[in-house]
Amino acid sequence: MESVDEGRAEIERWWPHLSIRARHLVLDDLTAPLDETVIIEIEAITAASAPDRLTEAEQRFVLTQIEAVD
């Protein structure tokens, strides 16, 4: 089981509020470190620490939430 850092923003709080551009940046490579633009948005949305990259559980969450973002 993966642990999530305490104080880290929960993906359910920020994913629905990300801009289309930021979502595209995440979706380009779910396993890559998050782009600085995405980190800034996450921290602005949640007032919590953004992750450096998505956990496997967060990657699965994103895949279940995908709508056409084009």
pTM score of the predicted model: 0.83
Listed by start position, the domains of the chain span 11-65
Give the separation between CA 69 and CA 37, rounded to whole angstroms.
17
pLDDT digits (tens, 9 = 90+) for 2-61: 445 667 899 999 999 999 999 999 999 999 999 999 999 999 999 999 999 999 999 999
**According to the model, what pLDDT value does residue 39 have?**
98
Instruction: Characterize 28-50 residue by residue with b for buried, 16 or more Cβ atoms within 10 angstroms of its Cβ, and e for exposed.
Output: eeeeeebbeebbebbeebbeeeb
